[in-house]
């Protein structure tokens, strides 16, 4: 039966991810009412918008006058037990008399964690947990960081040669990777609440920092420019509907109406402030200096490194001096995945600062 539960859980995840921005800061959740006796999906539900019905309630409502006493509910996140903008889902599941609930992962929210499972079990409902747990956590990694740290999830994107260079000794950096890798980056932008870049990158390339995929939202932009070097006629400051956060300590200027200046002491301070503005995830597309600082301040969560089959031999490395003199002082990562992107290789890894 576990294979069937996994199949249904994948369907929950597939449906849930469609509402990434609509449900934030809530998690992405999908639910299925399933008849094990007939091997039949009775109904499906998704959390579609923040403040509105959760996935479990939508799946139950879609089942109409169904007898739930012999039915199984599949859901990728533990049902809530607290009264928020909507009533507790665990109470509704108990009220409807479900026989079994299959859960992907526990809710990291301290208001919920394990309490939903306990409440269901105490009501006599069979509960199975941990079905595709890693995939369920991966889907809601932004939510997990948000709810446990009150900080945005920070993903670093970097494109390097095989010998980890990002610029030739002559100063050229376009294009190191192929077109397929650049299209992949557009998909990353589409999933991100904001894109962060620094004054060096902006002054050198005058990038637009938009998502070029038709129909996708334009992410907010975060520009690190402590000394106010970038002219406001650069592309990153244009008014295209996205918010532009200018992280700077030079506040003695007249800012365009779409630019929000933020004074900051360090990245933790900046990210706390951005979180309060509703920036729940950040895609970092910047150079060596900012990346090095992010790592030293332990503020980067994950890195996607696109590796091109080219060797420069000299030039600029993608990361600078981290103050590591002994092997046991190094910054550690956990490799998560690796895939071929036409001629390039994409390596995905998560930072493990506590190891």
The tens digit of pLDDT for each residue in 62-110 reads: 998 899 999 999 999 999 887 667 788 999 999 999 999 999 999 998 7
Give me the pLDDT at residue 136, please. Answer: 98
How many Cα atoms sit within 13 Å of 62 on the Cβ side? 20
Give me the pLDDT at residue 140, please. Answer: 97
CA 130, distance to chain mean position in Å, is 21
pTM: 0.92
Active-site residue 56, yes or no? yes
**Looking at domain 150-351, which CATH architecture does it have?**
3-Layer(aba) Sandwich (3.40)
Residue 67 pairs with which residues in a beta bridge? Answer: none
- Domain covering 2-144 in this structure, CATH number: 3.40.140.10
- Nearest Cα residue to 147 out of 16, 302, 295, 28: 28
Cβ atoms 208, 221 nearer than 8 A: no
- Nearest Cα residue to 194 out of 218, 173, 227, 167: 218
Give me the pLDDT at residue 81, please. Answer: 86
| Three-class SS state of 236 | helix
Write out the chain's pLDDT in tens, 355 residues: 899 999 999 999 999 999 999 999 999 999 999 999 999 999 999 999 999 999 999 999 999 889 999 999 999 999 988 766 778 899 999 999 999 999 999 999 877 788 999 999 999 999 999 999 999 999 999 999 999 999 999 999 999 999 999 999 988 888 899 999 999 999 999 999 999 999 988 998 899 999 999 889 999 999 999 999 999 999 999 999 999 999 999 898 899 999 999 999 999 999 999 999 999 999 999 989 999 999 999 999 999 999 999 999 999 999 999 999 999 999 999 999 999 999 999 999 999 998 6
Helix (H) or strand (E) holding 351: strand 344-351
Return the domain boundaries, the chain: 2-144, 150-351
Give me the pLDDT at residue 109, please. Answer: 82
Q: In angstroms, rounded to a whole number, what is the distance separating the alpha carbons of residues 347 and 350?
A: 10
Residue 48 pairs with which residues in a beta bridge? Answer: none
Cβ atoms 41, 73 nearer than 8 A: no
Q: How buried is 345 (Cβ within 10 angstroms: 0-12 exposed, 13-18 middle, 19+ buried)? A: middle
How many Cα atoms sit within 13 Å of 22 on the Cβ side? 13
- Nearest Cα residue to 177 out of 338, 346, 336, 320: 346
Cβ atoms 222, 282 nearer than 8 A: yes
Q: In angstroms, rounded to a whole number, what is the distance separating the alpha carbons of residues 141 and 146?
A: 9
Residues 26-40, buried b or exposed e (16+ Cβ, 10 A)? bbbbbbbbbeeeeee
- Sheet with 302-307, strands from edge to edge, namely 259-262, 244-247, 220-224, 194-198, 281-284, 153-160, 302-307, 344-351, 333-341
Give me the pLDDT at residue 32, please. Answer: 98
Length of the chain in terms of residues written: 355
- CA 304 to each of CA 78, 148, 155, 210, 269: distance values in angstroms, whole numbers, following the listed order: 29, 23, 7, 19, 24
- Give the β-pairing of 194-198 and 281-284: parallel
DSSP at 222: E
Cβ atoms 15, 53 nearer than 8 A: no
Domains 2-144 and 150-351 share a fold: no
Please identify which of the residues 7, 36, 56, 302 carries the catalytic annotation: 56
Give me the pLDDT at residue 355, please. Answer: 64
């Amino acid at each position: 039966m576990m294979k069937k539960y996994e199949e249904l859980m994948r369907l929950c995840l597939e449906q849930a991810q469609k509402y990434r921005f609509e449900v934030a800061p809530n998690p992405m959740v999908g639910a299925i009412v399933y008849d094990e006796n007939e091997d039949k999906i009775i109904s499906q539900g998704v959390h579609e918008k923040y403040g509105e019905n959760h996935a479990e309630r939508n799946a139950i409502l879609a089942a109409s006058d169904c007898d739930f006493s012999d039915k199984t509910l599949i859901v990728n996140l533990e049902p809530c037990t607290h009264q928020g903008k909507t009533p507790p889902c665990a109470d509704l599941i108990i009220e409807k008399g479900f026989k079994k609930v299959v859960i992907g992962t526990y809710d990291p929210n301290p208001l919920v964690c394990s309490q939903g499972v306990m409440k269901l079990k105490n009501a006599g409902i069979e509960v199975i947990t941990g079905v595709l747990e890693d995939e369920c956590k991966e889907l809601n990694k932004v939510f997990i960081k948000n709810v446990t740290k009150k900080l945005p999830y920070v993903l670093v994107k970097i494109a390097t040669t095989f010998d980890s260079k990002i610029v030739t000794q002559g100063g050229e950096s376009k294009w190191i990777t192929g077109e397929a890798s650049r299209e992949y980056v557009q998909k990353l932008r589409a999933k991100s609440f904001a894109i962060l870049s620094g004054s060096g990158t902006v002054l050198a390339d005058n990038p637009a920092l938009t998502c070029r995929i038709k129909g996708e939202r334009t992410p907010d932009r975060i520009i690190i420019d402590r000394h106010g070097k970038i002219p406001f006629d650069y592309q990153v400051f244009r008014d295209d509907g996205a918010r532009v956060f200018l992280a700077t300590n030079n506040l003695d200027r007249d800012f365009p109406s779409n630019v929000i200046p933020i004074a900051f002491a360090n990245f933790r301070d900046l990210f706390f402030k951005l979180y309060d503005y509703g920036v729940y995830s950040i895609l970092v597309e910047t150079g060596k200096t900012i990346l090095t600082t992010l790592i030293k301040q332990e503020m980067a969560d994950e890195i996607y490194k696109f590796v091109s089959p080219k060797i420069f031999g000299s030039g600029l490395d993608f990361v600078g001096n981290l103050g590591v003199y002994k092997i046991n002082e190094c910054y550690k990562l956990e490799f998560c995945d690796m895939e071929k992107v036409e001629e390039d290789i994409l390596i995905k890894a998560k930072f493990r600062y506590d190891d």
